Amino acid sequence: MRPIIGITCDYNWETGDSRLRPGYFEGVYRSGGLPFLIPVLESSGAADVIVRLDGLLLTGGQDIDPRFFHEEPHPAIGWVNPCRDELEIALCREAEERGIPVFGICRGVQLMNVAMGGDLYQDIRTGTETGGVLCHDQPAPKWYGFHEVRIQEGSKLREILGTGLIRANSFHHQAVRRPGRSLYATAHTSDGIIEAIESDAHPFFIGVQWHPERMLENRTMIKLFEALVRNAAVRAV
């Protein structure tokens, strides 16, 4: 039986529509999981959702409201979606407490960090010492590996990918600044931006800043979805 992987959806607060690009559920299904799409609900319902899941995938999207990491908004911040933020922070915390596998992509890795008490660069172009050294919003096809990412030896991420150096795509202007509780950085670009985090207190709590769902034909990238499903399958037994 396929393990059930909950996947968070983007949300249009003007129309009330929930939506999701196909790469997320394709990656899960190709890897042996059963995608379960999670619309934006009241955050009080997070526990009711999590108990029905074997794994959680936190997807990309808009900026995270800086009030969730106790900051005022930077002039360069983009659109935020507080209803989505509230639900996903609650989902992430519930999953972490219950030992449910969690995988975050782009906004998802940032959300994981905020949920665990960490914070973000609201705009890496102006908020970091090395801002502007690398382009992190690529003028290239979405599937193209635009810059190098170096992965820390001994990390779960390196074990999953089977290499210490990859080329990843890049579409972001926010990034993890200070890792939250039990989290540590496991990958960086040459300008020092954190590209991945994981937990040393959880069997599978991993997030990446790039978009592997846009690179599914790359054998290295599909390994991330396979690892999520494999760990979720252990719980589903």
How far does Cα 124 stand from its chain's mean position? 17
**Residue among 94, 96, 195, 213 flagged as catalytic:** 213
**What does R_g of the chain's alpha carbons equal in angstroms?**
16
Residue 37 to residue 34: CA distance in whole angstroms? 10
Residue 115 to residue 65: CA distance in whole angstroms? 12
Please check whether residue 217 is in contact with residue 143, taking contact to mean a CB–CB distance below 8 angstroms: yes
User: Is 106 annotated in the active site?
Assistant: yes
**Residue among 106, 136, 147, 172 flagged as catalytic:** 106
At 56 the three-state DSSP class reads strand
User: Is 42 annotated in the active site?
Assistant: no
Tokens of 182: 């039990």
Calculate ∠ Cα 133-208-76, nearest 5°: 50
**Residue among 136, 147, 173, 211 flagged as catalytic:** 211
User: Is 211 annotated in the active site?
Assistant: yes
Pick the closest to residue 106 from 148, 59, 49 (CA basis).
59
Q: Hey, which residues are catalytic here? A: 106, 211, 213
